[in-house]
Structure 1
Amino acid sequence: MSRPLVIYGAGGFGREVLQVVRDINDARPRTWDPIGFAVDQAFASTSLVQGLPVVGSVDWLAQHPEVEVVIAIGSPAARRHIVRRVVQEAGNRFATLLHPHAWLGQDVRVGEGSVICAGALVTTDISIGSHVHVNIGATIGHDAVLKDFVTLNPSVNVSGNVQLAEGVEVGTGSVLLPKVSVGEWAIVGAGAVVTKEVPADATVVGAPAKVIKTRSHGWQGQ
């Protein structure tokens, strides 16, 4: 019996997540029953997205406890905010999606609500937290740790023994060399090459990556 699923977020990544769901169903029929998208009222610009209805927001989820949800919002800070609202108002019932064309080796742990997209390569002895997004073509080397709400954008290369703290966002095509660590809520710009530790709340760009901005602690909000 398929499990009813709502995708929270109807933008570009929300539509990509729908494709992940459809591909999972092609590989393992009747895994999921995607019944629609949830969005905050301010973002409800249409009533249909790829043939599926926009059903409402967190209040709708609260009225439908049988439905699981995955948060398809690219921003780690916004994703955490929505997760907390869903848990508080509608309970904890998050779906974890692993694309059938992603490769995960042995001893890879993936937390609830995370999405691993097509073409991702995740080797061995890796810990991936909750509500993490690993986009298309990203690679993660041995013994890496990705904490909750991390986002790897397309074609990111995470080397072995890399540590990514909560809320880190890594831009498209970036490379993180072995054993580097990136602090909480830091941002790695697209195409950067990270060769040394990145402080919490910093934004780094370039090759080698250098800090161009540091936000105040707690900038991501609650």
Structure 2
Amino acid sequence: MLIVGAKGLAKELLQVLSIDMNLSDESILFFDNVSHDLPEKIYNRFKILNSFDAVENYFKAYIDKSFVLGLGHPLRREKLYKQFVELGANPIILISKSAEVGDFEVEIKEGTSILAGARISNSVQIGKGCLIYYNSVVAHDSNIGDFVEISPNVTILGRCIIGNNSTLGAGCVILPDVIIGENVKVGAGAVILKDVPDNSTIVGVPGRVIKSF
């Protein structure tokens, strides 16, 4: 199993892979081709691949070509997702054992990670490459787009739509029936009462758009 990334989020996904999935040290590797301050191994146990050539050689040598996205920021996640899929790698769905996912009409697409304490209700759709962080809630009949980043303690209430490549800051609340556009940044602690247009930043209580880009 390859974790794409080797710093903050990657170390948190390691907890799920190593403890929840009970994978051995030898079966978990990290990938980072940009950082210059990394040791040879994470925690002196897990090897780091530092080039795409090394990844290709690894995939040729081993049957397992699975990967998870261990880095933040929607556009970076999308870029690396596509690069690894082009290498023939398989994005997996990673769900912590302590997350709660509804049993009825829940669709979660490949490459999405759901961390400890998150709660996903029934009749929810979650796109590919998403990150749903600790203790966040996605309520019934909501639709989360691709490569959406949901920070800790976010609450998305019923029948909401979150557009592709959007980021929801820690502790924000999206009220029922609200549509968040694509490429939107919602500030930490914001309370969103009405729809938010594409390519905008919204902050505050109640939320107000402070930037369009």
Fold-level similarity (TM above 0.5): yes
- Post-superposition Cα deviations, 1:18-73, rounded to whole Å, max 9, x if no partner, equal 01112322xxx459964211012x21421221221212233322223333111111
Contact 2:106 2:125 in 1 (8 A): yes
Q: Bigger CA drift: 136-145 or 45-54?
A: 45-54
Change (3 A) 1:197 1:76: same
Aligned-CA RMSD value: 1.6
Q: Report the residue type matching 1:102 in the other structure.
A: A
Q: Across the two proteins, how many residue pairs are aligned to each other?
A: 206
SS of the aligned residue for 2:2 comes to strand
Match of 2:49 in 1: 55
User: Given the alignment of the two structures, is residue 98 of structure 1 paired with residue 95 of structure 2, yes or no?
Assistant: yes
Report the CA distance between 1:134 and its aligned residue: 0.4
Aligned to 1:200: 198
Q: Distance in 1 between matches of 2:24 and 2:114?
A: 16
User: Are 2:18 and 2:24, in contact at CA under 8 Å, matched by a contact in 1?
Assistant: no
* Mapping 1:65-144, distance limit 5 Å: 65=59, 66=63, 67-88=65-86, 90-106=87-103, 107-144=105-142
The one of 141, 146, 149 equivalent to 2:147 is 149
SS at match of 2:202: strand
Tell me if 1:38 matches 2:41.
Answer: no
Query: C-alpha separation between the residues in 1 aligned to 2:183 and 2:71?
Result: 16
Unaligned runs of 5+ in 1: 216-222
Identity, % of aligned pairs?
30
Structure-1-length-normalised TM-score: 0.88
Q: Calculate the TM-score normalised by the size of structure 2.
A: 0.91
